[in-house]
Amino acid sequence: MKSIKGQRGVAVITALLLTTLAVTIVASLFWQQQVQVRSMENQRLHLQIQWILRGTLDWTKLILQQEAITQPNYTSLKDVWAVPLANTRIDQYVDRERVAGETFDANLSGQIFDATARYNLANLARQGAKVTLQVDVFKQLLTLLRLDPALADGATKLIASSQEIPAGTNKAATAAKQMQAITLDDLLEVPGFTVEAVEKLRKFVIVLPEPTPVNVNTAPAEVLAAVLSSPIAIAQALVAQRDRSAWNTIGGFESTLLSVGGPTIADKDIGIKSEWFLVQSWLKLDRASLNTEVLVNRKMTSPYTTNVVWIHQN
């Protein structure tokens, strides 16, 4: 009798173990299925984000190209490209299965910035040799931003090293050599530059693949004061004048500059049109989000092409 009861107990325990094992296997299968479904959803979201980004870039390039065709002589902050894209819902344009009562966020915003409104660190050196006049400009900008002007020397060495011409190379054949890829964050490798200093420079300084003049129609007062070697008050007066009417000739700008007590522009590296632009976009698609910065180069002469130079995403 005891043997029969023992067998029944073993059978009950075995049944419980088998049931537990079956439940665990089924739960594991459901979990794996859920992971696979979520992975597929994430892949779909990623692809949708990439297509939206591609569409945004195509739209941006079209705007910049059309602006160059209709207004090739100057670039100003009153142009269409300078109007930011406010936060816009795009969920109705996203192809996905709809679920009643769900909350699905899809938003896009962005803005185009004139890259030549900022001081280009590529101006600090040419073919590996520093340009003293440009170093002085950068030192003045650092002073205006309440940073140590001595930092300009380290930045110049960084830029010059990216332009160095190997020994035995024909310098005449490499006169148009472009810089190696350097970003503003690379300044952190230079002794003296801190994260705070680099962030302070971000709105006023950029590193482009080649030297460029500063566009006086778009540059902030601090950059204007530095590149013109003038007091900040004169630069602020120029910005106020520019807000009323942009300059469509460099001669017109010089007349205005002289009228407010500024210097001549004989040795100033300035211009009134732009070929380099930063495109920043902020995209949220359900639980996925993407911040993108793109450098676009456009030509202000026929055939007015626009090209993406680099894309940074995070």
- Residue 275 is assigned to a structural domain of this protein: no
Mean pLDDT of the chain: 85
Give a yes or no: residue 169 inside a domain: yes
Residue 38 falls within a domain, yes or no?
A: no
% of the chain residues with pLDDT over 90? 58
- Do 94 and 130 contact (CB within 8 A), yes or no? no
What is the DSSP track for 128-194?
TEE-HHHHHHHHHHHHHTTS-TTHHHHHHHHHHHHSPPPTT--GGGGTTPPPP---GGGGGGSTT--
> If pLDDT is split at 50, 70 and 90, which confidence band does 118 have?
very high
Task: Give tens-digit pLDDT for 211-257.
Answer: 999 999 999 999 999 999 999 999 999 999 999 999 999 999 999 99
The pLDDT of residue 177 is above 80: no
- 191-204 confidence digits (pLDDT tens): 999 999 999 999 99
Which pLDDT score is estimated for 192?
Answer: 94
pTM equals 0.80
Per-residue pLDDT tens over the stretch 279-296: 998 888 776 778 889 999
Asked whether residue 303 is domain-assigned, the answer is no
Predicted confidence at residue 15, as pLDDT, reads 72
More confident residue, 89 or 124: 124
The total number of structural domains in the chain stands at 1
Question: What would the mean pLDDT of 33-49 be, rounded to a whole number?
Answer: 64
For helices 132-144 and 151-162, the axis angle rounded to 10 degrees is 140
Report how far apart, in Å, the C-alpha atoms of 108 and of each of 3, 52, 55, 85, 102 are.
Answer: 74, 9, 12, 8, 20
Range of the domain at 181: 119-202
- Binning pLDDT at 50, 70 and 90, where does residue 45 land? low
Residue 75 lies in a domain: no
Residue 6 placed within a domain: no
State pLDDT tens for residues 132-163. Answer: 999 999 999 999 999 999 999 999 999 999 88
308 part of a folded domain: no
Please give the pLDDT value at position 24: 76
Q: What's residue 173's pLDDT?
A: 44
Asked whether residue 224 is assigned to any structural domain, the reply reads no
267 pLDDT above the threshold of 60: yes
